[in-house]
Structure 1
Amino acid sequence: MRLRSLPGHEVRALRPPAAATRGALAALRRFVRARSARAEGEALADAARPLAVAFSGGADSTALLLAALRLWPGRAVHALHVHHGLQPAADDFAAHALARCDDWGLDCRVLHVRVRQARGDSVEEQARLARHAALHRAARELGCAWLLLGHHADDQAESLLLALLRGAGPAGLAAMPAAANRAGLWLGRPLLECAAPQLRAQLDAAGVPYVLDPMNEDPALRRGRIRRELLPVLDRLEPAWRRTLGRSASLCAQAAEQLSAQAGRDLRACRGEAGLRLADLAGWEPPRRAQVLRAWLAELGLRSNAEQLDNLLRQLDAPAQAPVLVGIGRARLWRDGEWLRCEAGGA
């Protein structure tokens, strides 16, 4: 573990200098104002409700946690630290999180998770799923309506670039939403407009320590290579890349929302107890049909890729006498008279 702090400096104050969180606090205030006109904003702004903050101990989550303390000085703020056990420094990261929260008079809970991998799985993706599941469970147990995450503008840009490299559509290119509800818990990312160097510089100037995770710079991971090799090139070509890529992600999110709403209406129109009416599907252009099928499969808990959907669309365009039989995960889809059916647990 590498620790950033001023030489000989010890943090033993409930609230570090205001300058340490100037950028994060301003972003958090704008985030709260933006939600104030919506239903979810009431629980966020209510200082009587407990609040959870995902606290890795890195610069971004440190800035966010301290900004939350300044904005809501009397509020019950819970720091949640996920211990993946994926690297030797994991114990040191947890110890740092506990020590800082003790300095600041905060409750900090260390959540131990196991990252399970099957062959071909991405370590990053499985760690992300395990982390979010643990954070969600702990925040709900604490009675929190909101869990705040420290993702910043650099993270958003990296997510967009990763989605581009895997050929994602509008939903994938939307990257990370500023706010989203997951099974009754609101996830908020107030720092998406903040540049990572700005957050680090303000903490450094105030002498607030934070950890540097070596996995963030690991060239063996695609995100690490983007950060080390591609973003410096963007800095030279387009200094405003954080803002422009963030705007692209926002526009893709709007498009994805519209497509999802249309697919939901279409799905309600063509769905019956037996499945989907083939006559209704046949009346739509292939892109619209693909959106409906994707929405239907998602409702059934099935994840489909572009190749599977293309195969299904080709078979639906074949003569009615030809059977449609497509396997997706452990489910199978087939044509049954006027219906497209799906049976879970098939071969």
Structure 2
Amino acid sequence: MKADPALSALRLFAGARLDPQANAVPLAIAFSGGADSTALLLAALHLWGPQRLHALHVHHGLQTDADRFAEHARGLCASWGVPCSVLRVQIPARPGESLEDAARGARYTALTNAAGKLGSRWLLLGHQADDQAESLLLALLRGAGPKGLAGMPAVASRAGLWLGRPLLSCAADSLRHMLDVQGVPYVRDAMNLDPAFRRSRIRHELLPVLARLEPSWRATLTRAASLCAQASAGIEELAQQDLARCEGPEGLRLAALRALPEARLSEVLRLWLRQSGLRSNHGQIVNLCRQVRATARGAVALQVRLGQGLVERRGPWLALSAGTYVSGHCGLHDAHEGSGCL
């Protein structure tokens, strides 16, 4: 059987990214049983054989077909001689967080934990070009900046593990067609058709319109995401330098923050909060910048609550409340990482 176009894309990815000498190290593959992850697993099987692979299937119980999907994953992997672990997760309910975001977070925590226990250095994901386009459009509709509009990176790191997306150049319909021609079974997730999810509506309502307006929409949106990733990397590099100059033993020096131009001030604060494990939105950053500026005019009180964290003024310092600050990066360490696309 041939696994083109997935095999071609995986060959290119592996040649550029993976250590050819590390044949003894297992490669973990996120395997939902859908067309994309099936195409990726089949390509990996052709490239490396079953002995180097381990499929990881997440069972989060969000739909009645979850048990059937898990059995399909086990059965197909057994027929190919690939070990398969089914990971059962609970979706936490957090105020203000969407079900999609909560499920994504739980899924990737389970996948990275399982891959780490296997001794894997890489977790391969089946995201393809249509997924990248949808992520870019979702970020655009949220009003995201360059970091969010960078979409999903081909490579990122999380919890000491490399995450790879070899199929970002592959169209979804080409992967499905390849599997259909070869008679390879895959599951179809009804949630992908549910109009309650914005991503589903983009896929089925907006992308067909884009295809009529611009036949090469995949390549165009991929190029836009790549340009935003480059811009984001430059912005973050400058923010890292500014942050290093502002940091001190008790937080950030207010005088150093006030000396920064507005755009650089907002990026430093956003980076500082992200490295501290706190999420922030545009309005919160604008408010925090305003209060930092106000300290130059004698304002003493400065207090902004972000989730479980509290940002406040302590004399000449901008500090986080006790027990909140965690030095260094939290989890993701990739300059091109999009917001919540993993």
Is the TM value for this pair above 0.5? Answer: yes
Match of 1:216 among 192, 210, 234: 192
1:164 alignment partner in structure 2: 140
Question: Which sits farther off after the overlay, 108-117 or 335-344?
Answer: 335-344
* Cα gap change, 1:117 to 1:101, in 2 (>3 Å): same
The reply to whether residue 191 of structure 1 matches residue 167 of structure 2 is yes
2:77, 2:83 within 8 Å by CA — same for their partners in 1?
A: yes
Q: Residues 171-186 of structure 1: matches in 2 within 5 Å?
A: 171-186=147-162
Once residues 108 and 56 of structure 2 are traced to their aligned partners in structure 1, the CA distance between those partners, rounded to angstroms, is 11
1:332 alignment partner in structure 2: 310
Once residues 273 and 57 of structure 2 are traced to their aligned partners in structure 1, the CA distance between those partners, rounded to angstroms, is 34
Q: Residues 259-338 of structure 1: matches in 2 within 5 Å?
A: 259-318=235-294, 319-323=296-300, 324-338=302-316
* Cα gap change, 1:29 to 1:217, in 2 (>3 Å): same
Match of 1:31 among 5, 13, 16: 13
CA shift, 1:183, in A, is 1.6
Which letter does structure 2 place at the counterpart of 1:34? A
CA shift, 1:177, in A, is 0.7
Report the secondary structure of 2:32's partner residue. Answer: coil
Q: How much is the aligned-residue C-alpha RMSD, in angstroms?
A: 1.5
Once residues 159 and 60 of structure 1 are traced to their aligned partners in structure 2, the CA distance between those partners, rounded to angstroms, is 16
CA distances 1:193-234 after superposition (whole Å, capped 9, x unpaired): 000000000110111111110101111110010011001101
2:37 alignment partner in structure 1: 61
2:60, 2:103 within 8 Å by CA — same for their partners in 1?
A: yes
TM value normalised by structure 1: 0.90
* Cα gap change, 1:341 to 1:187, in 2 (>3 Å): same
CA distances 1:273-306 after superposition (whole Å, capped 9, x unpaired): 1221122112211110011111111222211111
Once residues 118 and 184 of structure 1 are traced to their aligned partners in structure 2, the CA distance between those partners, rounded to angstroms, is 26
CA shift, 1:246, in A, is 0.8
CA shift, 1:344, in A, is 4.0
Which letter does structure 2 place at the counterpart of 1:322? A
Report the secondary structure of 2:44's partner residue. Answer: helix
Q: Residues 8-87 of structure 1: matches in 2 within 5 Å?
A: 17-18=1-2, 21-35=3-17, 41-42=18-19, 46-73=22-49, 75-87=51-63
Once residues 87 and 23 of structure 1 are traced to their aligned partners in structure 2, the CA distance between those partners, rounded to angstroms, is 31
CA shift, 1:333, in A, is 2.3
Question: Which sits farther off after the overlay, 242-251 or 113-122?
Answer: 113-122
Which letter does structure 2 place at the counterpart of 1:27? A
Question: Which sits farther off after the overlay, 186-195 or 307-316?
Answer: 307-316
1:24, 1:199 within 8 Å by CA — same for their partners in 2?
A: yes
CA shift, 1:320, in A, is 3.6
1:52, 1:148 within 8 Å by CA — same for their partners in 2?
A: yes
CA distances 1:135-164 after superposition (whole Å, capped 9, x unpaired): 101111111100000000000000000000
Once residues 51 and 150 of structure 2 are traced to their aligned partners in structure 1, the CA distance between those partners, rounded to angstroms, is 32
Which letter does structure 1 place at the counterpart of 2:11? R
Once residues 16 and 228 of structure 2 are traced to their aligned partners in structure 1, the CA distance between those partners, rounded to angstroms, is 19
Which letter does structure 1 place at the counterpart of 2:7? L
Question: Which sits farther off after the overlay, 295-304 or 214-223?
Answer: 295-304
Which letter does structure 2 place at the counterpart of 1:338? P
* Cα gap change, 1:206 to 1:45, in 2 (>3 Å): farther
Unmatched segments (≥5 aa) in structure 1 = 1-16, 36-40
Once residues 216 and 30 of structure 1 are traced to their aligned partners in structure 2, the CA distance between those partners, rounded to angstroms, is 29
Once residues 154 and 235 of structure 2 are traced to their aligned partners in structure 1, the CA distance between those partners, rounded to angstroms, is 19
Once residues 261 and 86 of structure 1 are traced to their aligned partners in structure 2, the CA distance between those partners, rounded to angstroms, is 39
Report the secondary structure of 1:211's partner residue. Answer: coil
Which letter does structure 1 place at the counterpart of 2:9? A
Percent identical residues: 59
2:50, 2:80 within 8 Å by CA — same for their partners in 1?
A: no
Which letter does structure 2 place at the counterpart of 1:337? G
Question: Which sits farther off after the overlay, 228-237 or 277-286?
Answer: 277-286
* Cα gap change, 1:195 to 1:45, in 2 (>3 Å): farther
1:145 alignment partner in structure 2: 121
* Cα gap change, 1:330 to 1:167, in 2 (>3 Å): same
Which letter does structure 2 place at the counterpart of 1:84? H
1:275, 1:340 within 8 Å by CA — same for their partners in 2?
A: yes
1:49, 1:75 within 8 Å by CA — same for their partners in 2?
A: no
Aligned residue pair count? 322
* Cα gap change, 1:74 to 1:334, in 2 (>3 Å): closer
The reply to whether residue 124 of structure 1 matches residue 106 of structure 2 is no
